[in-house]
Structure 1
């Protein structure tokens, strides 16, 4: 089975594919000044971009782990998520509250998906 790295860097790759299964790196917002709505939109846009680079879309996402720095943001994150998610192909999802890597970071998402190409 082949292993392919998407945009590898010195610390990590944007995604690693084993066969047609893709493991995306944690997607985080660049703008840490935004509220949970803005940060969630930015993260979901990044997921869309990586999936497109892999030749897929959100319909190919199997599972998402959502990490929130404050569980009080759960409803706000869900509002943005619900507007984004493909209702015909919703992934499995888990959400937890954890300290995140940088101050101001409110959300991180980790995706496992099918990479069609």
Structure 2
């Protein structure tokens, strides 16, 4: 099995492919002052872009972890998620509330995803 790093920097890679599995780094929005719906939509767009660069789509997602700074944002996040997710092939998903202490101020969401992308 081979392992490759996608868009690495001194601290992390945006994605790592290990065989047929692709592990995406946590994605956060750039719009720090936007509402949760807009932050969610932007973050999901970043996931779409990374998957496309690697030859995949959201239909290839296996699992997603969604971290919210405030669980009061759950309904707003879910509305954006429901508009985005492929209802025929939804990934396994977990959502939790966390401090997101290492994220820039104003970030309300971080999404971590794993995809199956056969070579």
Compute the TM-score of the two structures, normalised by the length of structure 1.
Answer: 0.97
Q: CA deviation at 1:16?
A: 0.3
SS, match of residue 8 in structure 2: coil
- Give ranges in structure 1 of 5+ residues lacking alignment: none
What do residues 52-101 of structure 1 show as CA deviations (whole Å, max 9, x unaligned)? 01100000000000000000000000000000000110000000000112
- Give ranges in structure 2 of 5+ residues lacking alignment: none
Task: Please say if 1:61 is aligned against 2:61.
Answer: yes
1:81 match: 81
1:5 match: 5
Q: How does 1:1-117 map to 2 (within 5 A)?
A: 1-100=1-100, 101-117=103-119
Aligned residues: 117
Compute the TM-score of the two structures, normalised by the length of structure 2.
Answer: 0.96
Off by >3 Å, runs of 4+ in structure 1: none
Worse overlay, 100-109 or 68-77: 100-109
Contact 1:56 1:116 in 2 (8 A): no
Contact 1:3 1:19 in 2 (8 A): yes
